[in-house]
Structure 1
Amino acid sequence: MNRSLLLVVCDFLLLSILALARFDVPKDAVIAQDDQKVVSKEVVERISDGENYDDVVAELEATNETLLENLSSDKDDLVEQKLKLEAEIAQRQKELEQKEQEIASKDAVIEGNKEALDLAKKEAQKLESQRKEIERKREELLQSNAASKKELELLAKNLEQAKKQSEELAELKSKKEKEAEAARLELAASVERAKAQELAAAEAKALLIEEKKRSDELIASTAKIDQKIDSLNKGLDGVGKDLKSVGEGLVGVGEKISTVSDDVSSVKEGVSKVEKDVQESVEVQKENFRKLNERQTRSVNEIFTRYEQNKVSLDLIYTHKSGIFQTNRDDKFSVDTILMVDGNFVYALVHAKDSPFRVEFNPRKLVSVTGQITGPKFKEPLQVKEIAFMDDPRIIIVPLYANPQELAKTGIELFNAPENPFLFDDAVVVDVKDGRFGQTKCLRDEKDGRYIEVDEKHFAFLTGAFNPGKGDLVFSQKAELLGIMVNGDYAFHVKNLGSRIHGGSRTLLGSSFQADKTNALLHDLSRNLSGLNKKFKY
């Protein structure tokens, strides 16, 4: 039941109650007649208590007037409420009539829905028959699906086998690709080795031809000496015969003695020539032995020992701007390296990482730089007066104004750049930071001869595994410096250094250091570094 209908019902109940109410006067009630006043018992009691009758009456009249006013006001309110209730009842009656009309329309709708329900019932019966038909077909499909499931399982099994075969083929392909890559590297190394061996064979052949010529000359000279000795023996035999015939004349004896003297002189000359030829042959053999010795490899331990015994330390003390407020900060950079010689030119090569001259990222704002090279075999440090950058600006060359002969007197060994760097395809990599070393294969980059590719896959570690990093030294098997690692895969090739110094990169150190010029140079070199091939940079 909604709210409107409830209000209508309540209104009817209220009207019914009012209609049934009675306002009869009780039988024992005292009714005043004419001007008679009815005094209540309470008033009589108050008069008996000594109060003035008129005062009591006045008070009662005032109270009566107040009550009358209140009753009048209440009557007006009740009349107003009655009017409102009547209006509301009329409104509720209208709403009730509307509800009855709506109920009538709903009954009509229900009647129509009943017909629709009957139709829906018929449709439901039809759908039920269709459902049964679908159920029958479903059973047939289930039976068909069972057979299909078996076929699907068989296909899945075949697919799993095919997938397994595909993975095996992929693994085999990867293995073959690795083998092909290794074969390619080995082939390239073999080509380089074959070229080196061909060159060595040509040199050996030339030496052999020259030696054969000298041997032929020596044999011919020996044959001449034998002939002279034979003639001398014959002369001596003639002398014996002549001595037996002394009586034939002293003149004949004198002539024979003169002949013997001439023969002895010629023998001495022949012997002297033989000694000279033998001496020349010994010198040639020594030279050939020296050249052969140059082609002999050094053991890995021997190469590392030579490095350890002759390494020096490059120390750079510098001041640079640091922090948000760009305050001056003092730092020191030290790295182990070796000294190299080219004629009378002594120098050192180092990687610029962590140094005051780094260019790979965020070049420093330098204020001053001084440097020196120290070593256990030096009585006093060698002062570094200047540095320069190579065509790869990460590599710094440090020239030393020192006499190689004077340095050799200290007992330190000066290393050389290799004349034939790819005579052997193996190289020794030395970790300058932790003092470890290992042997691997190296190959000149096919597109850029300034770099050497170091093969990490074939590393043989002798002092514990390590990853070749920036600044590590790469030696040939003849203990010559092949290069300096610029990343984990490639090394800067030490060759033709004079033509590879970056133009205008000469930087003086010490009191002649120019901060503004050097800082501008570092920024320019950092930009130039971006032009390198990615495989050489990272």
Structure 2
Amino acid sequence: MNKTLLLIIIDFLFLNLIALTQWEKLEVSRPPVRLGPQIPAEPGDGPDPIESDLVAAMQLSLADEAARRAALAAELDATAQDLAAREAQLARTQESLQQREANLQHLSEAQRAAELARQQREAEAALLAEEIQRALAQAQRDAALSREQMQRLRLELEAKEAEAARQAAEMAKLEEQRLAAETRVAAAQEQIQGLSVAVQVAEQEKQFLQTMAETFRSQADAEREDRVRVQEHSVRLAQGIDELAEEADGLKREIREHRPINANLIYDEFLANRISVRLRATRQGVFGKNTRDKSALTILVNDGQQTFVLLHVEDTPFSVVEQGSDWEQLKLSLTRPQERTRVEPAQLAFLDVDPRLVALPISEEEAASLGVKIYTLATDDPFKFPEAVLISGGGKGYGEVPFKLNPAYARYVKLDNRLIKRLLGNFSPSRGDLVFSKSGQLLGIMVNKDYCALVTQLSTRLRIRAGDDIRAQKTSTILNAAGARYRALPVNLY
């Protein structure tokens, strides 16, 4: 054992012993005092009692200290022996640990080798498993291929068997046909023999027929010449009849055009063919939505290219007198009274002849669906009759009225209201009244109480498309343009 370590341990134990000893409770053992006469001590005779007590106490303390040291030495010897035993045990333990470490090192190397061997075996097993899987997949593909081949071979075999059966059936059929053909050949040979006799008879008949044919041919040529002459004569007669029919039609048309139609017939025809027009326009006003509804009774007119419904602008929600506005919605509809058929025109157009005249164009199919007469315009000779038939208020009244031409207003005629012959109703001519010639054609529309605008063609320039949202068309611009054309007219035509 190391001596320095032993001295440190001894000093530590000694200091603990001194520190833990309770000196105040220590009883000092003193020798018994002899009894006898107390002779006062003379100064200088013997030791001082206090000093004697202190010496005795110190002797006792030294004796106790010697005893404690002896015990401490014995204890230290035991401790030293115990430490030596522990050091020996520690040495043995270290040797055992070193041995174990060496064993563990050898064991670790063996484990690593075993682990490497195990990993190698696992890798080989994985490779072997992959090989087995590939071989199994290849075997499955080969098996599937073999099944497909067997299925294909089986189908081919069945097809070949069916083909063989079909060929056998065809061979049997051909054999039957051959036998039948041999039978027919034999029968044909018999027929040939019979026909040979018949041919000889036919040759004789042929000669006879040729003789008869020559006779008939000569007769047919003669009849053909007669037929050609008759046909030429018939053609000349037919041409003459066609010319006579054309002349008769021309005479009828001329008589009809120059013969005035009774005003009652014109009015009755108007009542049977008039249609109802409804117009609705909506715009945003100062106090909310502003809606205008208009309706009128009028007719369908065709100028040879397009069919229209004619109206006066005052029978529509629009005006050429007011400042134009931007309308937001326009709805147009045509119906025949007491009928359910309904047609919705796509647009409203202002006529070039007068901005106060409005046309609603429709297609031929839509016009046919209404089932009414489509009137034509009096374009050939509108002034052949000095009088016209005026129908007021969509049929509320009608009458005959003379009209006059004014060279200053070539597209208008002036009606003489003083000489009007009212055949039904008490009325005065006003704007929107329809004027018909005595030939039954439309002459024009009254633009005011005196003048009728002649409608010779339905050409238009300004249009407004109908729809639920027409704001993009800027109707104010269109209406202002129509208003400008109206204000450019002579004052007498207002």
Q: What's the counterpart of residue 455 of structure 2?
A: 494
SS at match of 1:475: strand
Larger radius of gyration: 2
Query: How big is the shift at 1:383?
Result: 0.6
Match of 2:485 in 1: 528
Q: 1:258 to 1:471 in 2, by over 3 A?
A: closer
Match for 2:438: what amino acid?
Q
Partner of 1:317: 280
Q: Which residue of 287, 298, 310 maps to 2:249?
A: 287
Report how far residue 295 of structure 1 moved. Answer: 3.0
- Hey, what does 1:229 align to over in structure 2? none
TM-score by length of 2: 0.51
Secondary structure at the counterpart of residue 291 of structure 2 = strand
Q: Are the structure 2 counterparts of residues 522 and 257 from structure 1 closer, same or farther at C-alpha, using a change threshold of 3 Å?
A: closer
Q: Does structure 2 conserve the Cα–Cα contact (< 8 Å) formed by 1:440 and 1:459?
A: yes
SS at match of 1:521: helix
Q: How does 1:411-422 map to 2 (within 5 A)?
A: 411-419=371-379, 420-422=381-383
CA distance in 2 between partners of 1:282 and 1:261 (Å): 31
State the TM-score, normalized to the length of structure 1.
0.47
- Return the match for 2:231 from 256, 269, 279: 269
Q: Compared with structure 1, are the counterparts of its residues 525 and 465 closer, same or farther at alpha carbon in structure 2 (3 Å cutoff)? A: same
Asked if structure 2 preserves the Cα contact closer than 8 Å seen for 1:377 and 1:411, the reply is: no
Q: 1:516 to 1:341 in 2, by over 3 A?
A: closer
CA gap 1:433/1:344 in 2 versus in 1, 3 angstroms: closer
Q: 2:260 aligns with which of 280, 286, 297?
A: 297
Q: CA deviation at 1:369?
A: 1.3
1:519 aligns with 2:480: no
C-alpha contact 1:442 1:453 (8 A) present in aligned 2: yes
SS in structure 2 of the partner of residue 527 of structure 1: helix
CA–CA distance in structure 2, aligned partners of residues 311 and 379 of structure 1: 14
Q: Deviation per CA, 1:480-504, whole angstroms, max 9, x where unpaired?
A: 1111101011011101332xx23xx
Query: What code does the residue aligned with 2:475 have?
Result: T
Deviation (angstroms), 1:263: 7.3
**C-alpha separation between the residues in 2 aligned to 1:436 and 1:508?**
33
Letter in 2 for 1:426: E
* Aligned equivalents of 1:495, 1:518: Cα separation in 2: 27
Residue 394 of structure 1 corresponds to which residue in structure 2? 356
Partner of 1:225: none
The equivalent residue for 2:426 is 465
CA distance in 2, matches of 1:278, 1:428: 41
Is 1:387–1:397's contact at 8 Å kept on the other side of the alignment? yes
Distance, in Å, in 2 between the alignment partners of 1:393 and 1:259 is 76
Residue 415 of structure 1 aligns to a residue whose secondary structure is: strand
Residue 530 of structure 1 deviates from its aligned partner by: 1.8
Give ranges in structure 1 of 5+ residues lacking alignment: 1-252
Q: 1:264 to 1:446 in 2, by over 3 A?
A: same
Q: 1:494 to 1:354 in 2, by over 3 A?
A: closer
1:436-459: CA deviation from partner (whole Å, max 9, x where unpaired): 001011233311222121111221
Question: Residue 514 of structure 1 aligns to which amino acid in structure 2?
Answer: R
Task: Say if 1:535 and 1:261 are closer, same or farther in 2 by CA, change over 3 A.
Answer: same
Q: Which residue of 1 aligns with 2:295?
A: 334
The total of aligned residue pairs comes to 277
Give how far 1:384 is off.
1.8
Summarize deviations over 1:234-263 as a string: whole Å, max 9, x none.
Answer: xxxxxxxxxxxxxxxxxxx99x98997577
Amino acid at match of 2:355: P
Equivalence map 1:466-485=2 (5 Å): 466-485=427-446
Quick check: 2:324–2:477 contact (8 Å CA) kept in 1?
no
Partner-residue secondary structure (3-state), 1:384: coil
1:339 CA drift (Å): 0.6
Give the superposed CA RMSD. Answer: 2.9
Q: Does 1:382 align with 2:347?
A: no
Q: 1:439 aligned to 384, 400, 407, which one?
A: 400
**SS state at 2:333 partner:** strand
Question: Aligned partners of 2:360 and 2:291: how far apart in 1?
Answer: 22
Unaligned runs of 5+ in 2: 1-214
Alignment partners' CA distance in 2, 1:516 and 1:280 = 56
Matched, 1:306 2:269: yes
| One-letter amino acid matched to 1:527 | A
1:408 deviates by 4.0
1:449 equivalent to 2:406? Answer: no
User: Percent identical across equivalent pairs?
Assistant: 25
Query: How far 1:469 sits from its partner (Å)?
Result: 0.3
Deviations 1:360-413 (A, max 9, x none): 24555533211111113754211121111123221111111333xx73465310
| 8 Å Cα contact 2:325/2:475 also seen in 1 | no
Task: Show the 5 A alignment for 1:35-434.
Answer: 261=223, 264-265=226-227, 267-292=229-254, 293-322=256-285, 325-361=286-322, 363=324, 366-376=327-337, 379-391=340-352, 392-403=354-365, 407-408=367-368, 411-419=371-379, 420-433=381-394
Q: Which residue of 1 aligns with 2:463?
A: 506
